[in-house]
Amino acid sequence: MRRFPSCLLLIGTLGACGLEMAKPVDGGDSGRDAERDTDADGGAGGGTDTDTDTDTDTSAADEICGNGHDDDGDGHADCADDACMEEPGCVCIEAIATGHAGAIASGDTTGSTDDRARGADAGCGSTASSAPDHAIAWTAPDAGCYAADTFGSSFDTVLRVVEGCDGEELACDDDSRDSSGAYTSQSQLLVGGSSGRAYTFVVDGFGGDDLGAYQLSIHPAAARADAGRANDNAPATGAGGVTGSLDGSTPAVDHQCTSGEEANSQTFRWVAPFTGAFTFATTGSDFDTVISVLDRAGCTELACDDDVRVGSDSTSLVELSVTEGETYLVAISGYSGATGTYVLTIQ
C-alpha cells in the first residue's frame, strides 16, 4: 500500500504529507485533476457530487507499469498514471507532479522517513549518513530536455532520478551552479529526450541533519551534448580504441563532474552490443581530459569523470551498466580548455 494513500492529490495542500503541489502553469491535464475531485465545492471533503464527467475511456488498463513509458497515451506514465498508483513499484511516491515550466512540487522532509538510503555506490552526495527524502513522479510531456532543480530549498539538497521506486539510479546531482555560475548547496540535473518518459525524482538531504522545506522546479533546457553532431565512428568494443584531436570538434559538453571551463568536445554515438557493465576510458591521451556518457538525446548525464587519480593521472574513466541495443553518447573534453590527442576505448 502507498505510504500516504490519503495524500495523493495532483493539486492543493497535502498537510498530512508535508507536501504542497503547484498547479500546472502550462495548461496541464485539468481533466485528470477533475476526475480526482468529485465534490461541488472543489475540495476533498463532503458536498453534493456534481461531477458530470462521463469519461468512459478504459485505455488506462493498457498502461504497462514499470516500463518507463506512457503506453496508453494519456500523458501520465507508470507511477504518475492512475492505473499504476497502487502497484508495488510505486509505493514510495509521495506526490504526482504535472507541469514543465516552473515549480511542480514543494514540501517539507521534516518528520519523513529515509527511503532512499545511500551506500558506497551512490552516484553523489554523502555516504556517511542519509537524510529523510521525498519521491515525486513526473512524466515528460515531449521529447525535449528539461532542467530539474531544487533552487529555493532551505537545506543542502541532493537530487536523484531513479527507475520507479527501487530501480536503478539514472542521474544524481549534489551541488550545482545557479544562473550566475556560482556553486550552491542546491541541485540541478537534466532529463528528457523522450515523450511520455516516466521519472521518479527523489529530493534528499546531503547529510542526516539536512532536511526541511524544499521546492522542485522544472524548466525546458538545452541538451548537455549535441546529439545531431555526434560522430558515428565510436570504437569497437574491446578493440584498440580511436584517436583524434579536439581541434575543430563540436561545441563543449556541459559536464557535471568538473568546475572547469571546458572548450571543444568530441562526441561519439555508441550502441550497446549487449546488456552489462562497460568501461569508457581516455587512457593514453596526452592532455587533461573529461569524459561523460549520456543518453541518446544528450539530456541526461549517466556517468562523468575528470581525473582517474588526482595528482597522478589526468585522464578519465567511467563504468556504466548499459542495455543491449540502446544508444548512448560518449563525450570527451579538455579540462579548462586543454587540448591535444585523445584516445577513447570502450571495454
State pTM to two decimals. Answer: 0.69
Distance in angstroms (rounded) separating the CA atoms of residues 308 and 315: 6
Per-residue pLDDT of the chain (347 residues; tens, 9 = 90+): 333 332 332 323 333 334 444 433 333 333 333 333 333 333 333 444 444 444 444 444 489 998 888 999 999 999 999 899 888 889 889 999 988 889 999 999 999 988 876 654 556 776 666 789 999 999 999 989 999 999 999 999 999 998 888 777 888 888 887 777 777 899 998 888 788 989 999 999 998 899 999 999 999 999 888 888 899 999 888 878 899 988 766 677 888 787 666 668 899 999 999 999 999 999 999 988 999 999 999 998 888 998 876 556 789 999 999 999 999 999 999 888 888 899 999 99
CB 136 within 8 A of CB 93: yes
310-to-138, 174, 256, 288, 340 alpha-carbon distances in Å: 38, 20, 17, 11, 19
Q: What is the pLDDT of residue 311?
A: 57
| 217 residue type, one letter | S
Instruction: Provide the phi-psi class of 5: left if phi over 0, else alpha when psi is between -120 and 50, else beta.
Output: alpha
Check residue 200 and give its pLDDT.
94
CA atoms within 13 A on the CB side of 159: 25
What separation in angstroms does the CA of 271 have from each of 291, 295, 303, 324, 343?
A: 17, 11, 16, 8, 19
Cα angle for residues 188, 193, 197 (degrees, 5° grid): 90
Give the model's pLDDT for residue 34: 31
pLDDT digits (tens, 9 = 90+) for 217-239: 999 999 888 888 899 999 888 87
pLDDT at 47: 41
Burial class of residue 154 in the structure, from the number of CB atoms within 10 Å of its CB (0-12 exposed, 13-18 middle, 19+ buried): middle
